[in-house]
Amino acid sequence: MKLKLGLDVGSGGSSNTPFLLLFALYFLIISGAVYVVINQPPSMGTERNPQTGALRTVAFMAGRINGQYIIEGLSAGCAMALGGAGFVMLDRANDRNVTIVNNRMILTMGGMISILSSLGLCQLFVRIKIPNYLL
């Protein structure tokens, strides 16, 4: 009696598997996973309102360049990965196998929008992190 598993061990997977694994590793490194493991920061912080004295949660550790909350690192990693995915879309738009003009235009516009939104998000994060920088 042979037991058949639904998983084919002999196949190596698709050609995009190494790229997706490296892209996930890129996201983890950019997000600061090593920093989180070593320093064990909180996921979010609190800040006291000077007028009311009430505490509110903050996701960015403003004013400290060498410190970050977990949510801050993940959001910055998402912004960087969005820009990287935009460059991948632009590269795929120039592929010889993309023959339909609409697909090429969608990939080009999606890549440009991803890159520009990533740039805007990264600038916003730097402005939050370093107040009055490059005004």
> Shortest CA distance to 42 belongs to which of 23, 57, 52?
57
Helix axes 101-129, 70-93, angle to 10 degrees: 150
Q: What is the pLDDT of residues 11-45, one digit of tens each?
A: 667 888 899 999 999 999 999 999 999 999 999 99
d(CA 29, CA 9): 29
Q: How far apart are CA 88 and CA 77, in angstroms?
A: 16
The whole-model pTM stands at 0.82
How do residues 8-19 score in pLDDT, each as one tens digit?
A: 555 667 888 899
Q: What is the pLDDT of residues 109-132, one digit of tens each?
A: 999 999 999 999 999 999 999 988
The whole-angstrom separation of Cα 135 and Cα 44 is 27
Q: Which residues pair with 56 in a beta bridge?
A: 47
Predicted pLDDT at 4: 58
